């Protein structure tokens, strides 16, 4: 079945080539008149203060971690979903149990205020 | 053996021709979606929109000038090509150039598994829907990296917001897709369309209206379009993650954004609106099926544009609340209901009725709910 993926690989190559081509074209056609003002970072017209590689809110890391937990849950569900008709009631019951277990974690996060953004 | 190889090459030749046609149509469609968006926005806001640029250099096309501005996309592309490519001096030059490439790559390659007519797709892989989810999540990298590489505060904040938003809504999107997989019993895009038959009542939008609403809302967030366009909230973040981008790099982001929107519409059509199925006409000729597919996609694109120019933007905490506290539990609930109905009743008729009731309740609830008076 690997032949089925050949067009996808071709598509990937075409997409990359197209992107590189457009970027090169833009670089060749555009003017190059740089000065230090133009090359500085935009900060509403004032001189940039410090670097932008500053510390960022821990909230974003939390979101990333929650995402991994729940995304793996969703990934688990795909093989289950395709075979659900064969599994029947037992498959349904086990997935409900699984979802309930995850919901316990979800409510823990919720009550801990992990999803608050104020 | 030789005959087999020849057959394979011929088959691949067809695929390449199809690939060329699809990419050509997609890129042209992107250009004219921008134009359509500006015209529709102008119509909604009671102004004229772009109406000047025609094709005066070609005498046969002079008649197109008459106040419809069809040359606008071409003029925009040429303008962007001729602009200077400004890269901030303290930016990471390589990643700065890589980020728009990733965005474009993710937007263009997703379309490969969408079927345009019965048996007509660039790649007919048996895990089509997983491929789509995998590639669309790559798009997050483009935006995060562009925010980080620019070394600008606005870019960084825009990129962070955007990536957090996209991964949050990917969950509810994934759950809605699982409910479709349960209903259609297939991961292959062609099989998903085939199982919806030519009877509109069998389309997943009727069988699983709630899933359709969840998926469409998540698609708005995934494509960073209003009311979820916080990464580009001008009042707070200037240009968001593409503040420091100009010239063709900016154009690639722009291209990717609109290509993403079109691809999202084709996926919605495939999963929920019966794909290429023509209502009440089983086994229609391929060009009718392609026509049906394009019509449905255009309709969904109109909905995307319509929503953008109708709804105001969310605040960030509202956006995250909606994603985590509402859409995620709702998606799980929807999935369990779909699975229970399929297992217990063996068909989806009770599901359609239940979904109608649920959605009616949601709509009624949203009207009854008092607006939040809590001060931020």
Give yes or no for a contact between B115 and B125, defined as CB atoms under 8 angstroms apart.
Answer: no
Q: Tell me, what's the pLDDT at B376?
A: 44
Instruction: Say which of A5, A11, A34 has its CB closest to residue B19.
Output: A11
Q: What is the pLDDT of residues B177-232, one digit of tens each?
A: 999 998 888 888 888 888 888 888 888 888 888 889 899 999 998 888 878 777 66
Give yes or no for a contact between B197 and B282, defined as CB atoms under 8 angstroms apart.
Answer: yes
Domain annotation covers residue B294: yes
Domain annotation covers residue B14: no
CB contact set of B236 (below 8 Å; sequence gap of 6+): none
ipTM entry: 0.87
Position with higher pLDDT, A13 vs B242: A13
Domain annotation covers residue B72: no
Distance (Å, rounded) from C-alpha B202 to C-alpha B199? 6
Distance from CA of A35 to the nearest CA of B (A): 10
Candidates B108, B165, B179: best to mutate against A (most CBs of A within 10 A) is B108
Average pLDDT, chain B: 82
In terms of Cβ atoms closer than 10 Å to its own Cβ (0-12, 13-18, 19+), residue B359 is middle
Share of residues in chain A with pLDDT > 70 (%):
95
DSSP B266-320: HHHHHHHS-TTPBTTBTT--HHHHHHHHHHHHHHHHHHHHHHHTTSPPPPHHHHH
Distance from CA of A72 to the nearest CA of B (A): 10
- Which two three-digit tokens encode residue A48? 């940039």
Domain annotation covers residue B5: no
- Which two three-digit tokens encode residue B160? 């962070």
Q: What is the pLDDT of residues B161-174, one digit of tens each?
A: 888 888 888 889 99
Query: Rounded to whole angstroms, what are the CA distances from B221 to A59, B164, B247?
Result: 19, 11, 26
Distance (Å, rounded) from C-alpha A100 to C-alpha A96? 6
Q: Which residues span the domain enclosing B150? A: 92-368
Q: Taking phi first (over 0 means left), then psi (-120 to 50 degrees means alpha), and beta for anything else, what does residue A19 get?
A: alpha
Domain annotation covers residue B114: yes
Indicate yes or no: CB of B23 within 8 angstroms of CB of A14: yes
DSSP B199-256: -GGGSHHHH-HHHHHHHHHHHHHHTT-TTS-GGG-HHHHTTGGGTT--HHHHHHHHHH
Quick check: B97 contacting A, CB < 8 Å? yes
Q: What is the pLDDT of residues B245-294, one digit of tens each?
A: 878 888 888 888 898 899 999 999 999 988 888 888 887 788 888 888 99
Per the structure, the count of domains in chain B is 1
Q: What is the CA radius of gyration of chain B?
A: 22
Quick check: B155 contacting A, CB < 8 Å? yes
Which among A25, A19, A45 is positioned nearest to B85, based on CA atoms? A25
Q: Minimal Cα distance from A2: which residue of B?
A: B125
Collapse the DSSP code of B67 into the 3-class scheme (helix H, G, I; strand E, B; otherwise coil) and give the result.
Answer: coil
Distance (Å, rounded) from C-alpha B14 to C-alpha B10? 6
Q: What is the pLDDT of residues B1-40, one digit of tens each?
A: 455 566 666 667 777 888 888 888 888 888 888 888 888 8
- The residue assigned the tokens 């999935």 is B335
Domain annotation covers residue B251: yes
Domain annotation covers residue B116: yes
- The residue assigned the tokens 């990536």 is B163
Domain annotation covers residue B282: yes
Indicate yes or no: CB of B81 within 8 angstroms of CB of A29: yes
Q: Tell me, what's the pLDDT at B268?
A: 92
Indicate yes or no: CB of B112 within 8 angstroms of CB of A71: no
């Amino acid at each position: 079945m690997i032949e089925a993926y050949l067009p996808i690989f071709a598509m990937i190559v075409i997409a990359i080539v197209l992107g590189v081509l457009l970027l090169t074209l833009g670089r060749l056609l555009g003017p190059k008149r740089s000065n230090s003002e133009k090359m500085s970072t935009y900060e509403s017209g004032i001189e940039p203060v410090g670097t932008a590689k500053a510390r960022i809110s821990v909230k974003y890391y939390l979101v990333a971690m929650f995402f991994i937990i729940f995304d793996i849950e969703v990934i688990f569900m795909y093989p289950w979903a395709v075979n659900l008709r064969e599994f029947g009631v037992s498959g349904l019951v086990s997935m409900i149990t699984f979802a309930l277990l995850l919901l316990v974690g979800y409510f823990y996060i919720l009550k801990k205020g992990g999803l608050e953004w104020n | 053996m030789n005959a087999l190889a020849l057959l394979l090459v011929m088959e691949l030749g067809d695929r390449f021709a199809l690939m060329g046609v699809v990419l050509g149509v997609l890129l042209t469609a992107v250009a004219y979606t921008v134009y359509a968006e500006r015209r529709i926005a102008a119509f909604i806001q009671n102004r004229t929109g772009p109406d000047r640029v025609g094709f005066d250099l070609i005498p046969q096309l002079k008649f197109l000038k008459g106040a419809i501005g069809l040359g606008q996309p071409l003029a925009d592309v040429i303008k962007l090509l001729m602009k200077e490519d400004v890269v901030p001096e303290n930016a990471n030059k390589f990643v700065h150039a890589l980020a728009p490439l990733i965005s474009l790559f993710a937007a263009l390659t997703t379309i490969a598994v969408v079927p345009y007519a019965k048996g007509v797709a660039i790649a007919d892989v048996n895990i089509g829907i997983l491929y789509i989810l995998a590639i669309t999540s790559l798009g997050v990298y483009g935006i995060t990296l562009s925010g980080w590489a620019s070394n600008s505060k606005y870019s960084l904040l825009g990129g962070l917001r955007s990536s957090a938003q996209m991964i949050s809504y990917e969950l509810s999107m994934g759950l809605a897709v699982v409910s479709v997989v349960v209903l259609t019993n297939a991961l292959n895009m062609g099989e998903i369309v085939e199982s919806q038959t030519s009877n509109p009542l069998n389309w997943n939008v009727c069988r699983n209206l709630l899933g359709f609403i969840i998926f469409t809302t998540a698609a708005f967030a995934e494509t960073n379009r209003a009311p979820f366009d916080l990464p580009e909230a001008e009042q707070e973040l200037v240009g968001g993650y593409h503040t420091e981008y100009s010239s063709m790099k900016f154009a690639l982001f722009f291209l990717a954004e609109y290509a993403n929107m079109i691809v999202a519409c084709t996926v919605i059509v495939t999963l929920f609106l019966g794909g290429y199925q023509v209502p009440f006409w089983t086994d229609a000729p391929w060009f009718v099926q392609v026509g049906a597919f394009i019509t449905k996609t255009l309709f969904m694109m109109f909905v995307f544009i319509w929503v953008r120019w109708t709804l105001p933007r969310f605040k960030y905490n509202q956006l995250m609340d909606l994603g985590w506290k509402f859409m995620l539990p709702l998606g799980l609930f929807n999935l369990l209901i779909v699975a229970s109905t399929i297992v217990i009743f063996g068909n989806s008729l009770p599901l359609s009725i239940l979904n109608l009731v649920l959605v009616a309740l949601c709509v009624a609830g949203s009207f009854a709910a008092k607006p939040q008076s809590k001060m931020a």
